[in-house]
Structure 1
């Protein structure tokens, strides 16, 4: 420690008064170095760890799409078209076609790890982005008309690695099944026993969580998905209002 070394030097030259002065100066230097080191780590180490390049994000998203499409043991053309439509709207037709050639290879030939991909993205993307990824994966599963149990299981597994909370997962999941009073409450993440005031509070909370502005940094296709979630929250609230006569 610098403070002890400085105290020793001070004692050698100026006895006890020098030791005290050296200790004080050394302590200040210790604190400065520690704070500077933490600042540098925050500016560079953490920033580097918590970012993902567009290319890496795209490749990992493709891999998650492949996991969902392959989940029920068959590759649905409608699900493939859903993914293609997303990439066309996001990147344009030329780049989407090039991307989709890679996607076909991912589906047919690669062994994919939901744990590795999910954990990688969980460390490098914001929570609203990961919520939208979960929503997008359910959209793929529903593209052929129904979300199978196998597809639900793999999306739940991926959501776990993405560090999506259980209530947020159930909320998004409920958006892709038949509209019922139960699903409306799940979307708002409340129980049927909630008071009217709690229902209103839950709506405000969920509307804020799923507001499209949360994904202002993402491309147009993702913002459209955010708008869909936002709309589902509004519909769930209106359904509960009608049911209760609020």
Structure 2
């Protein structure tokens, strides 16, 4: 069995059925040359004998929603494509990233992806911490060309809503990609008028929410993204501390 079939087998998970399964089938059948029906069956067999399905599910989710955000402003920016490719190379290595991009290119070309249906399926099978990480990754894509435009923000906000991410959580992650006077407060999900005790309480809450251990079930390769969010929370708290002389 080829490397791609093995990789797809590891990533099928909940994606075998539902809207994500339909999209996978369409993309595999339409855009990936040399991929046969036998390869699909072999991939499914491989999946049943290997663990870490949650990591594979998350991987497919990243690819699908990345395609949605990249197309949000009506153009496909090569810098955003490069961001996804490099991110996958850092997380999974050259071969697995290459396999992922075979699917990703198909997702980019597919204009019939139902964001709502895809998100509803993801929501049913992933943890809240995993979905927060998805939103963080999508903002990273949007920022990779130097600016997060309004269409991209609206697209990510729609996705976050479908994923049952609260507006407070959405604004917290969004603030990690902007340099504004109130970004630190938004990251901690508090107002500038908050007392010092409220700031400390908010910091403890956010540390618990964004702690990398919450993504350990996805595998070591996903901890780096979690650590990035965690560092942003720490930087926000330190900024407020210095600003207030706490």
Deviations 1:68-112 (A, max 9, x none): 001111111111111112222233211211220221111023411
Q: Distance in 1 between matches of 2:92 and 2:55?
A: 11
Give the TM-score normalised by structure 2: 0.75
Structure 1 or 2, whichever has the larger Rg, is 1
Give 2:192's aligned residue: 192
- 1: CA distance between counterparts of 2:115 and 2:147? 22
Equivalence for 2:88: 87
Q: What is the distance in 2 between the residues matched to 1:176 and 1:123? A: 28
Q: Shift of the alpha carbon at 1:212?
A: 0.8
Aligned partner of 2:32 in structure 1 is none
Report the aligned-residue RMSD.
Answer: 1.9
Q: Residue 230 of structure 1 aligns with which residue?
A: 230
Q: Which residue of 2 aligns with 1:169?
A: 170
> Which ranges of structure 2 fall in alignment gaps of 5 or more residues?
1-17, 19-51
State the SS of the aligned residue for 1:208.
helix
Partner of 1:213: 213
* 2:213 match: secondary structure: helix
**Alignment match, 1:159:** 160
Task: State whether residues 86 and 221 of structure 1, in contact with CA within 8 Å, keep that contact through their aligned partners in structure 2.
Answer: no
Q: Which has the higher contact order (CA 8 A, sep 6+)?
A: 2
Partner of 1:10: none
Equivalent-residue separation in structure 2 for 1:240 and 1:219 (angstroms): 33
Instruction: For structure 1, list consecutive stretches of 5 or more residues without a partner in the other structure.
Output: 1-48
Is 1:133–2:134 an aligned residue pair? yes
Query: How many correspondences in the alignment?
Result: 196
